[in-house]
Amino acid sequence: MFVKTHKDSLTPVITHLINLSFEGNVFPTAWKKAIVAPIFKSGDNYEVSNYRPISILPVFSKVAEKIVLEQLTSHLNTIEAGLHCMQFGFRVNYSTETATLHLIEQIKSKVDKGGFVGTIFLDLRKAFDTVNHTVLLSKLSTFQFSSEALAWVSSYLSNREQCVKIKWGKSCDLHYTMGVPQGSVLGPLLFSLYINDLPQQCEGIQVQMYADDTVIFTYAKTAESAAEKLKAATEKITQWLEQSCLSLNISKTKGFFFSKTNVKPPDVDICINGEKIEIVNEFNYLGIILDSNLSFKKHIKKMVRNIKHNMANFRQIRQCLSFDVAKALMYATFFAHMSYCLTCWGKAGDTVIKPLKSLNKQALKILDKKNPTIFILVGS
């Protein structure tokens, strides 16, 4: 609030500081300190690894980072060997929807021929937090960055401090020497460049990335043949991960086999570093639940359950809200669910889509205060 109120007075000062930072290839030490807020992901809430550490950084740090991000992005767009075309994360005109839609279209085009598409959803262990700065700077040099730009990035990454804040408690400051800050402006791009050469390790199979969410897949007439291709690929990937100071979380890495018919997961074994990965018949990829024949039944069923619950709560307070407020709330609690990745699941069968169409009509009636006695069933 202070910055916005006094922006006219602060702009010349901040501009001067940022220019000095670029001229000297040094990132201000005061802008390197982060307050880390642990955000729960899923699983056991007593397990530290199930929390995502989000860094709350100084405002002026983000201003400088945005300027650098624009310059780096512009540079990458002008060189031939820029970001890999299969990296969908944190790029203009790319999104979770384009990533999911591309994966679905690739799988459908293969399974329509018959046979199987073998898939492994890779889960990198603490990916952003384990980036090796020396390896990162070495990889950045392959993108034709100037020595001055590399020196600035090196300063940006080095000598950073953080503390953890939970409600009213706060830890002591900790100096750390690896990783890119989660919650920063530059972090996602730096990580994308860090793993940009991963697809080169996977000849004969396809790779798709959304930041650290990586999936590899291949087509074969039998599940066993697809599994053999995936095994060969994972051997090369594990070597690359070791060289890049990264590692897989085997318990969260899942195998998946898509086919035209609704069949049980094939009885095949895929091992990584001697550990067997679980073969599943559904997987939540970027918020969309995929099943083996891409019917989206489970995804839509979950969506219907969530929307029914939200609508039941919304109906109880509708009479207290103006139309504009009710409309905004309805979009946030109902239509936002329906519109997310609609191009991916919107062509599901009529019987699968029918419950959503019914809920849509009910929502509009509640919004317009029509049929106030309508009963919204909560649950599945």
Q: How many angstroms from the chain centroid is the CA of residue 87?
A: 11
Closest among 210, 192, 196, 187 to 89, alpha carbons compared: 210
pLDDT digits (tens, 9 = 90+) for 28-41: 999 999 888 888 88
Q: pLDDT averaged over the chain?
A: 88
Instruction: Compare 171 and 217 and report the one with higher pLDDT.
Output: 217
State yes or no: pLDDT of 141 exceeds 90.
yes
Mean pLDDT of 71-99: 90
Q: DSSP readout, 185-210?
A: SSHHHHHHHHTTTGGGG-TTSEEEEE
Number of H helices, E strands in the chain: 13, 14
Grade residue 263 by pLDDT with cuts at 50, 70 and 90: low
Question: What radius of gyration do the chain's Cα atoms show?
Answer: 24
pLDDT digits (tens, 9 = 90+) for 180-215: 988 899 999 999 999 999 998 888 899 999 988 999
Residue 305 makes CB contacts below 8 A (sequence gap 6+) with 379, 380
pLDDT digits (tens, 9 = 90+) for 285-298: 999 999 988 999 99
User: Three-state SS for 108?
Assistant: helix
State yes or no: pLDDT of 166 exceeds 90.
no
pTM of the predicted structure, to 2 decimals: 0.86
Instruction: Compare 252 and 364 and report the one with higher pLDDT.
Output: 252
- How high is the pLDDT of residue 372? 44
pLDDT digits (tens, 9 = 90+) for 327-340: 888 888 888 888 89
Lowest mean pLDDT among 5-14, 96-105, 333-342: 5-14
